[in-house]
Structure formats: structure tokens, C-alpha cells
Amino acid sequence: MELRAGRIAELAGRPVGRLTRRDVAFGLLSVDPGDALESLPVLRRGLLAAGNPLSAAFWESTDQMLAALQAGTARTGDVRVWLEATGTEPSSVIGLHVWDEPPERSQLQAELHSRLVRHLEEKLAADEIDPDGLAIGDAEDQQAWSRIQDQWMSSPLPDGRVPLDMLLAEQDAEFLAEWAEADAEALSALQVVLDEVGDRPLPLGELAAACAAARAMIGEDELAGRLLAACGPDGRAATVPDPEWWLRLAAGVVAPAGDTDDAEVAAAISALSALEHVDWLAATAALARGGPGTPAGPADLARYAREYCDDDFDEPAVAELFGYVAVLWRALAATDSRSRLTSLGWWGLPEAVRKVWTPAPPVAPRPAR
């Protein structure tokens, strides 16, 4: 199938004489690479006749890209670099924002991406962007192209919106919604297990000893104490055995709440945060079903997670992440010196995980005065 300039003009919604390199690139990608390669001579003649010849550097890079696509040697990143070298295709990553693929873009992403394309076209027309320089990887041209995008993304639009702020806010909202959905699914699965297990009594004597030990440990300089202090929602310690205080500390292991300048503690918190819902669900379900005495060392917890998963699973890596969990659970007396589940852990660990996954109740509005 021969691809002519007129067809690309239809796809781009503008005359042949005003087609950009980006328009041509996307037009060529819309057909089989072999057809696109065969169409290049007639396409070049059509653009030349319309007074829009583009450049030799563009056609050379295009020929190379289509040949690589036809041979199956082109990677996704190669195609992305070629598209961005047109000068008017935005960078796939700008600041902390990553553009989704076109079919997956939200309405906001689609709008702002189109606006940015138009802005880049204006800068290209003003000779502030050199696509031939981009094609050969010239550092200064790359910096100029990136700077134009950064400035546009961080500057207010006529309606006052700042593109980057809007996109990051939407990204955060989507992440929180996805996380809440994962919480709900995991909580539902855990509840099924706990219903099967039945009553798990709170051992008050073990709780009293655990609270006293945790209070003493938080005041010390050992890693476990520093971690407990950082993972918890605040630094206050109960002066009496308090199930809620113990649960807050145990919940902090699953969802660390604090920031720290302590590099060792920060590394541990990163490891805890890397564990996924399925890891916690698998480990907690196995311990709840097994009861006191169930092995709960790092390798055991990783094995429970592997048995729960159907896909590829890096058991040694997950065991390493669970290493910090084992340290903290021992500090909370949820496990004993042999890394086996205690009666306190049997009661408390499922409750702590359930606490993390249960949505907070909405805050009631304050009555107007």
C-alpha cells in the first residue's frame, strides 16, 4: 500500500505544505514498515511539490528507522528517540510526569499534550528548535528543546492552570484511587481468612510486656528502636499497656508513616515500602491460619508469598525485604527469639494489617457558627 502526502495530510488535519516532521513520522508508523519504505520516494516528491521538502537528515533517519522496524531490530526506545527528534513530539518524561500512551491518556493529558505540541510547533517555526540537531543528538539542541518544554509545563496557561501541577495532581489522584482499590481487595481477602480462623484472643500479659519493651527500645539507639520510632505515626509512647498504641506501631511496619534523615532507617523504610499488598496478604494469612508457633522468619514469609503468587516471583529479593519486618516484629514481641509467631502476634498482626487497609472514616464538617 503506497502512502502519499495527501493521506498524511488527511490524518494530520492540515495541508501538505504545512505538514511537520512529526505528522509525517506518525503517518509512516500508521502503515506496515515495508509499505512505508516503498512510499518514501513518492512521499518526498509530494512534499517537495508542495514547497515543504523537510530535510535530508530527516529522510535519512526515517529510512534507517523504517528499515530497522521492517527487520525487527528497532526497540520501542529507538522509535521514541526518532519521534522526539522531529522537534514537536514532546519528551515522554518531563519533570516527574510521564505521558501515557495515546489510547490510555486521560482527557486532561490529551488536552495538555496537544497544547504542548502546538507550542513546540510555534517554537520550531521561530527557529528556536533545530530538529536536524536533535536527529544527530547535539547536546545544545537537546537542552534547548527540553528547556522549552520545562518552561511551558511550569508556566500558567491563559486560564491560570499550570500544566505540570495539573498533571501531577491527576497522577496522584489516580495512584491513590488504585491504592485504595488494592487495599479494599486485600482487606476482603484477609477477612475471609480471619472468618475461617475464628477468635484470636488478646493476651494481656504479653501485651503489657511488649509495650514496656517497645517503650524502652524506642528510647535507645539500636536500629530496631529507631525504626519503630520512625515507622509509627508519632513519637509518643503509652505509659500503660495499650492495645491501640501497639497496633499503631505494628501498622507502621506495614505502612511506615515517618520521614527520617537517618540513612540506615531510610533504607529500611524503603524496603518495607517495597513490599506489595500480595506479600502482606500471603504472609498474614499464613500466620493467621498457622497460629502461635508458626515460623515467621524472612525466608518463611517470602515462601508464603511465593506460594500465594501465580506469576514470576523473586523469592530471595522478597526475603531480603522481609528481613526488616522480622526485626520489627521481634521488637514488638509478635514473634519470639526463634522467629516464630507468638500469641500476641497471632492476635495483633492481622489486626494491624487490617487497620492499614481499612479506609479512614470521613471527617465530619465543622458546624457553621
What is the C-alpha to C-alpha distance for residues 97 and 164, in angstroms, rounded to an integer? 7
Residues 308 and 344 in one domain: yes
Residue that the C-alpha cell 528548535 belongs to: 129
Structural domains in the chain (count)? 3
Residues 254 and 338 in one domain: yes
pLDDT in tens, the chain (369 residues): 678 999 999 999 999 999 999 999 999 999 999 999 999 999 999 999 999 999 999 999 999 999 999 999 999 999 999 999 999 999 999 988 999 999 999 999 999 999 999 999 999 999 999 999 999 999 999 999 999 999 999 999 999 999 999 999 998 898 888 888 999 999 999 999 999 999 999 999 999 999 999 988 887 888 888 888 888 755 455 555 689 999 999 999 999 876 677 888 989 999 999 999 999 999 999 999 999 999 999 999 999 999 987 677 899 999 999 999 999 999 999 999 999 999 999 999 999 999 999 986 654 555 544
Q: Which three cell numbers stand for residue 96?
A: 516527574
- Beta-carbon contacts of residue 21 (< 8 Å; ≥ 6 apart): 54, 58, 86, 87, 88, 131
Closest CA to 246 of 267, 231, 266, 268: 231
* Residues 213-229: b if buried by 16+ CB within 10 A, e if exposed: ebeebbeeeebbbbbbb
| Per-residue pLDDT, 234 | 53
What is the C-alpha to C-alpha distance for residues 38 and 63, in angstroms, rounded to an integer? 10
* Percent helix, percent strand, percent coil in the chain, to nearest 5: 65, 0, 30
| Per-residue pLDDT, 35 | 94
- For CA atoms 119, 121, 125, 129, the dihedral sign is positive
Closest CA to 89 of 165, 148, 45: 148
For residues 200 and 346, is the Cβ–Cβ distance under 8 A? yes
For residues 97 and 167, is the Cβ–Cβ distance under 8 A? yes
Residues 226 and 345 in one domain: yes
Residues 93 and 239 in one domain: no
| Per-residue pLDDT, 258 | 66
| Per-residue pLDDT, 95 | 87
| Per-residue pLDDT, 363 | 47
pTM of the model: 0.65
Residues 122 and 231 in one domain: no
Beta bridge partners of 94: 97
Residues 70 and 120 in one domain: no
For residues 231 and 257, is the Cβ–Cβ distance under 8 A? yes
Residues 312 and 249 in one domain: yes
Phi, psi of 249, deg, nearest 5? -65, -45
Domain residues for the domain of 278 are 199-356
Residues 220 and 254 in one domain: yes
